[in-house]
Amino acid sequence: MHAADTLATARNEFERRLRLVGEADWDRTTPCEGWTVRQLVDHVVRGDRIAIRLLDGEAWAEAQGQVADEDLGDDLVAAFTDGADALEATFRVPGALERTCHHIAGEIPGAQLLGFRTGDYALHAWDLARAIGADEDLDPELVEIVWESLQPMAPFIGQTGFFGDGPSGEVDESAPLQVRLLDLTGRRP
């Protein structure tokens, strides 16, 4: 699977759950501590906008500052689809995966940024599903790809500040891969 195709698969997982959000769901809590459904979707939309700016050469602080002030409007579903379309198009530009991005994690290639966005969509698709009571099963191939990118971080992933407490230590190798991925990233399914 081409890296941009993996991003599209992850986007579809997130968007499928997003389209199920009803008016009464926006203030529901999510597995992301302190975040409502609205805040989770806002995070994903702004993450896409930041990634586009990083691919265009902006530094993290500048991109994050600009995006923090942007009005997302009243329709977060439209804001998501517009941003996700723009992000996918940006990643499909020849050479985008080789560009150096000035990310908060350091100087990274566009391919690694694409991996970050893929993981964000996939994991937050599950968070959104859990929050609204939708289907929590993620595409197995996508789960494997995200697992392969994050599993090497297992010893210190809980210290990054992005994945809760990291792995619980209570899920063994016999558990389904999605359960192991969720546990690795601080989620307790």
pLDDT in tens, 116-158: 999 999 999 999 999 999 999 999 999 999 999 999 988 888 8
CATH number at 142 reads 1.20.120.450
47 domain-assigned: yes
140 domain-assigned: yes
**pLDDT for the residue numbered 154:** 87
169 domain-assigned: no
48 domain-assigned: yes
Count: domains in the chain: 1
186 domain-assigned: no
Strand-pair partners of 107: 102
139 domain-assigned: yes
Find the domain containing 139 and state its range. Answer: 3-155
33 domain-assigned: yes
**pLDDT for the residue numbered 150:** 93
185 domain-assigned: no
In the chain, which stretches have pLDDT less than 70? 1-2
- Which among 119, 14, 152, 141 is positioned nearest to 167, based on CA atoms? 152
